[in-house]
Every structure is written in structure tokens, then in C-alpha cells.
A and B are shown apart, each in its own frame.
Chain A
Amino acid sequence: MAKKIFSIVLLALFIAACSSSDDAVNTDGGGSGTAFDRAGMLRNLADNIIIPSYQNLNSDLGTLVTAKDNFNTTPNQANLDALRSAWFTAYKAWQHVESFNIGQAEQTLYAFQMNTYPVNTTDVENNVASGSYDLTHPNNNDAVGFPALDYMLHGIGATDAEILEKYTTNAEAGKYQAYLSDLVNQMQTLTQAISSDWTVNYRDTFISSTANTATSATNKFINDFIFYYEKGLRANKIGIPAGNFSSTPLPDRVEAFYNQEVSKELALEALNAVQNIFNGTEFGGSANGESFKTYLISLDRTDLANMINNQFNTARGKIQELNANFATQINTDNTKMTEAYDALQAAVVLLKVDMLQAFNISVDYVDADGD
């Protein structure tokens, strides 16, 4: 009899535990009544950020192709300036898509073919000289894309006159022109393919892949985003040239090294792109949709969302203090570079530790019991 009573008491305790915690919804204020709309977040990312960013880059690369054609037809200073300007516009547009290492971009190793730096000038010169090359080959990743163009447009001669000489009177002028042309065309072909794959095909796959598994689009996108921020932005643009990972600073590792005036502007553009993704801000506009930020808010982590935005702003402030050419900054006062790095790193902690913990992105490749 006593045992029966005991089991009934226990059942009652169970029920009590359930019902008493019902009240907590009111007192706690947390745990909103409706689940977060993950598909809505992916839809906003795809329709208002990813696809418009690719289309913008694709159109800028179209302009670049035209500028290149004009230059190759009439290689003069005016056309060189126009070509350089088109390159820079497209390079800034590129900063908005580099983190999207998903779908066809991932399969074709797109980012490696577009922005691997430092450029290997020996490889570039060898390719030019031989005239036969497979630009998609991994060995050529550091001889193609924006960094290779940077070298072709700013670095193959000490002065503009010397550069123009390579495309005009030089014995190899035809080969330089051909390589320049192939580089630009290849970048546009790659981008065109990915851009149209997104619109006709991958968008629907993307927005329906909301599961919490290691391979779902949601989790991959979030992981890629953080990976890009940590590697592509924090380490590549600032940390590595500032010598954070080596015994001495490596100023020749800055982005757009041969141009010598835009590494800061590219870094700021990349940081804006990152912050827009975080906030779900539409490309080229200011309207905000479902995003990591609203996801955090739905999990009662408005504090964290605000801290992340504040830290992005702090980092932007630190980068704005730097010289337009990071290489100059490193050679004159590298402390400012490492301060910018530290400000970027502080956001890595918030994204990688706090945000990932809040989202509880699953990494389910091995048994774990949570301890």
C-alpha cells in the first residue's frame, strides 16, 4: 500500500513540476510563444542579400570586361585608369559575396579562384610567358582573380608608363593582353554561373534546408559566416600582415598590395558586408529582415545582439584610424594594426562562443553527452 502511495506521490510531483513551471512563462518573460522563423531568415538572406550581391558583382564584372576590352583595343592611360576603376568597383562588390561559401560557390572553390593573396607573381609571369594554362587549377589559385589583376594593373611596372609598355610595345604585349583578358573573363564566367545557379536552382534548396544538422544550409551558412569573419576578414586582411601569426610583420601580405591605396577601403567594405548579413540588412538599402540578430532576440539574447553590433562598430572605428594603405600603416605604426585586430578578435569571441552557444549549432559527428 505504502509503495502504491509513493508512486502516486511521485506522479503528482511530475505533474506539479510541469504545471508549476507553466507560470514561469509569465514571470520569466522568456521563451517566446512562437518558434523562430528560420526559413524566413534564409529567405531574407537569399532574396535580399545573397542574390542581389551576386547580381551586383556580376554586373560590375560585366563593366570590368568592357573596360578590359576597351583597354586591350586601345591600351592608353585613360583606358588603364578606367580599367583600374572598374577593377576596384568590382573588388568592393566582391567583399559582399566572399563569405557565401555554399552551393556552387563551394563546389567550384570559387573564393579561392577569386581572391587568394598574396598573388604569386612568378606564377603569373610564367603563365603569361607560356601562354598555356588552366586557370581553374588549384596551383593557379594564387595567379588568378582580383589579386592577379591587382598585379597586372599596378605591379608589372614601376610607373604607369612602364605598365602601359607591357601591353603595347613590349615583345610579349600580346601575351599580357591575353592573360589579362583570360583572367577577367574567367572571373565573370565563374560569377555568372553561380549567380544564375542561385536564382534558377539553389535558392529553393537553400531556404528549405532549415534543419539543425552539420550539413544543413542554416548551419553551414552560419559556420561559413563566422569562418569568413575569422579568416577572410580578421586574419587575412589585418592579422597576417600585422604579424600576429609570425615572428615579424608581413606588410606585403595586405590585400591589393600593388595598388597601395585601397586595402583599408576593402577591409571596411568587408566589415560592412559582415554587419549587414548579421543584421539582415538588404543589399544596397537599409531595410532589415529576419537575421542572426532577430534569431538572437527570439532567444532572449538582445544583449548579445547589441554587443556584437557594438563590437563591429568599435572595430570599424579602429580600422578607420588606419592608413589607407595597410602596408604603410604596418611600416610606420604597427600597434594601430594590432589594435584593430584585437577589436575584430573580440567580436570573434562573441560570434563563435556566445552566438553559437545560443543557436546551439549541432556538430553531430561523434558521441557526446554534453559534459
Chain B
Amino acid sequence: MEYLNHNDRVNRFQTYIQQQTNAAPLAVFRIGFGLMMCYGIIRFWAHGWIETQYLEPTFHFSYYGFEWVKPIGNYTYLIFFICGLSAFFVALGLKYRLAIITFFLSFTYIELMDKTTYLNHYYFISILSFLMIFLPANATFSMDNLARKRTFENIPKWTIDAIKLLLGIVYFYAGLAKINSDWLFKAQPLKIWLPSKFDLPIIGETLMHQNWFHFAMSWSGMLYDLCIPFLLLYKKTRIFAFILVVFFHVFTRVLFPIGMFPFVMIVGTLIFFDASFHQKIITLIKNILSKLRMLKTTTLQTFSAYQIRYKSFVISVIIIFFTIQLLLPFRYLLYPGELFWTEQGYRFSWRVMLMEKAGISTFKIVDGKTGNYFYVKNSDFLTERQEKQMSFQPDFILEYAHYLGDTFTKDGHKNVQVYVESYVALNGRLSQLYIDKTVDLYQQKRSFKPKNWILPFNDDIKGF
């Protein structure tokens, strides 16, 4: 076995950092990303979700430390407008750096406004756009080229690899998370979800309720997630892998209401293809544009290689970014108890489609001195969706308990104590009591510490 001393390793790293590759794949990725995000914002707006998700609720669930990020009334529309517009600028490659920073900030602000709407793929968009701030995605086929009258043929190879790595992490970690006894040996939660798709044409009444089909989907889903990054990396399996990507994401789109995510992933994985493929796409777009007489024929000075400015700073940021990405999903190991049950360390970890969880949480406002109590009607304070999400997530329950405590204290109630009777069912198990009924949640502080008032899970789920 070859032994690399420290200097060798440093040299190898330096060589890798110096390597150049064709700029076309990143440009195509930028265009695809920008257009899809712009469309995503328009779609969200058109569905009226800005109103129902952000303006109608009187109370918003915040991320710990980001309580100051709230919808800002009707100006919330302005944030969405800025977000959609910056996405379009990203697609054009016009003022790219400013556009992608604006997109990252506005999109992340939107996601931080209310954690009820948390989805793994929104988080993916947030961190991907952060990464893209440091990548020269406007090096070629961009409006910036026209403005600056120069274009670049090549960019550092690591910039494209960084996106491949991020996509690879998403898939591989999602696959790791599926290696658990509920997913593999009980086919849960697919066993609950698939039979309810009985109204799909042809397969609805024939496949969806079949036990073997639930297991086949669980196991192939796990294998798919684990293998797909590697199958995409190797040239010989790439076409096969991409067919799988398209099939799998279209299939999940048919089955589940997961919005844009399948298309983002399908377009995103194109980056694994060779530069020649992306050059063809660029040529195609150019042809269309010239037919529409929209192509400016400015003569551009072509440079061979793009030089990253503040290179050592950028490289450090990228290394820290990926270190965090690799470690963060394992933070659940720091908490006691079953991860699916307590959800401590569940988010931001590519744990997708793993749980069918539902609950009822009834809050009891008690006068600590007299013992008089009454129950809260959750619909007085929360939207249907907020109540649903709150009912089985401890951090939501705690935040809401504090809100109720504050609200009723302000209303003139004395010695307010807040208790919850919460029942939660996970992956088809019978519901069980979730939170210690005797703990006054109004006295519990929000923190990253383990929440010892979550009652233990009456079962065992093995795996990642």
C-alpha cells in the first residue's frame, strides 16, 4: 500500500484544486436552477400559499435562535417577488453574484419564517444556493459575459464536483436513513401510504395494496438512494442511472404531493453528464434565441481559465461547509431516545419519507393556585396545518405551550400553568401518550438540550 506523507497529500490537494474543466455544465445547471426556482416561487404564489401559510396564521413556529424571522404582513409578497426575480437573474447570469446572494438570503428568510412548512428539499435549495455563491456559474453563457465582454472556457474542476458532492450527500444520506427496521422489515410507512393510492389508474387496485409491493418499494428505494450517486459518477452506468432517476422521481411525484422536488433532482443530476452534452444544450438554446432574434452578437474575448478570487478563503468556506454537511445528520447521536419519536436531530438530515406520524395534543390551562382548568381549542390559534404539525413534534408543542401561557397571562388569567395531553402514533403503531402530562411546559425552556419531558417510545426501531 502506498503511503502518502503530509506533503504528498498537500500536493495532491493543490493539484486537484488547480484542475480545470469545461464551464458548460455549471452554466446549464445555473440556468436550470434559476428557472425552476423562479417557477417554484410563481407556483407557490399562484396557489395562494403565501396567504394561507404566512399571512393567515396569527402565530408562527420559529426555529430556535431565529424567532426574529417573521412574515412582514403584505410586504411578505415583496420578499417572494425579490426571491423570484433574483432566481430569474441567476438563470440569465446577470449580476450573478449579487443575484445568487439575494436569492439565498430571501429564500432562506422565507423558509425561516415558519417551520411548519419545513421540507427537506427547501433546506436543500437553501444550502445549494449558499454553495452557488462561491461558484463561477456565470463563467460562460451568461449576461455577465456580454456586459464584461469576456467569457471563460474552463473553470476549476472542484466547483462542479462540489455540486455533485452535495447531490451525492443528499442521496446517500437519504439511503442510509432508510436502513432501519421500520423501513426494511415492516415496509413502513409505505405500507400505510401506498394502499391509499387505490385510485391511481391500472396499478391502483392491483399493486398498491400488495404486501410484496410495499417491500419491493422499500428495498429498492433504499438501494436506489445509496447507489445512485456512484452510478451517476461512472460513465458506463450513467445513462442507466439517469433513467432510474427519471423513473423514480416521476413515480414519487405521482404518488406523493412533493411539488417541485422531483424535477429539481432530475434537472440537478444532469450535472453528472459530460461537458459535450451540456455544450449541445447551450447550442440548442443559442439556436432558439437566434431564431427569436434575441441573441446579441457581441464579440467576446475568450479566456481559457477562470481565476477564483480570494481563493484560499473560498476553499476554506467550502471545506467547512461540507464538513458541517457530513456531520450534521449524525447529531441525533448526541440525544437519548428513539430519533423518530423525539425528533431531536431529525431535521436537516435528509430523512425523507420515513415516518407516518400523527397526533392529538390537547392543552390544559391550569390556575396553579386554585387548580381550576380549561382546555384550549387549538383552532382558535393555529391553522389546520399548523395544528397537525404541532401535534407530534416536541419543539412545536413547547413553543406553542409558551405562546398559550403568554396569551392567557396577558388575558388576565392568574398563575398560569400549561399542560398537554398528547397522543401520537408512529408508522402504524397504536397511539401512545407522548408528553409527560404532569410537566408544566410553561416552565420548560427552549434549548438544544434533551427534552426529558418526552415519554419513552414503547417500541424499538433499529438502524441509522
Contacts and interface: CB of A to CB of B under 8 A. Distances in A.
Interface of A: 3-4, 6-7, 10, 13-14, 17-18, 21-22, 24-25, 28, 30-32, 34-36, 38, 210-213, 239, 243-247, 299, 303-304, 307, 345, 348-350, 352-354, 356-364, 366-371
Interface of B is mostly: mixed
B198 to A, nearest CB: 6
Interface residues of B, number: 68
A335 B302 CA distance: 85
B356 A25 contact: no
B212 A24 contact: yes
CB-based closest 5 A-B pairs: A31-B211, A21-B215, A17-B219, A367-B259, A360-B196
A246 B257 contact: no
B346 interface: yes
Contact of B428 (A22, A348, A358, A363): A358
A104 to B, nearest CB: 25
Contacts of A18: 212, 216, 219-220
Interface of B: 47, 49, 52-53, 117-121, 187, 189, 191-193, 195-199, 205, 208-212, 214-216, 219-220, 223, 227, 231, 234, 236-237, 240, 256-261, 346-347, 351-356, 358-360, 362, 372, 374-375, 377, 384-385, 388, 423-425, 428, 430-431
A3 B198 contact: no
Given A350-B431, A369-B258, A7 B119 contact: no
A369 B353 contact: yes
Contacts, number: 161
A360 B192 contact: yes
Given A3-B237, A363-B384, 10 more contacts: A7-B231, A17-B216, A17-B223, A21-B187, A31-B211, A31-B214, A35-B205, A353-B359, A368-B258, A369-B258
Nearest to A4: B236
Contacts of B431: 349-350, 353-354
Contacts of B211: 21, 24-25, 28, 30-31
A357 B353 contact: no
Contact of B191 (A13, A31, A348, A363): A31
Contact of B352 (A17, A358, A370): A370
A7 B121 contact: no
B212 A371 contact: no
A89 B347 CA distance: 56
A21 B212 contact: yes
B233 to A, nearest CB: 10
Contacts of B121: 369
A96 B231 CA distance: 60
Contact of A303 (B118, B205, B356, B430): B430
B430 A370 contact: no
Contact of B196 (A21, A32, A212, A353): A212
A371 B353 contact: yes
Contacts of B187: 21
A224 to B, nearest CB: 15
B236 A369 contact: no
B424 A353 contact: yes
Contacts of B256: 368-370
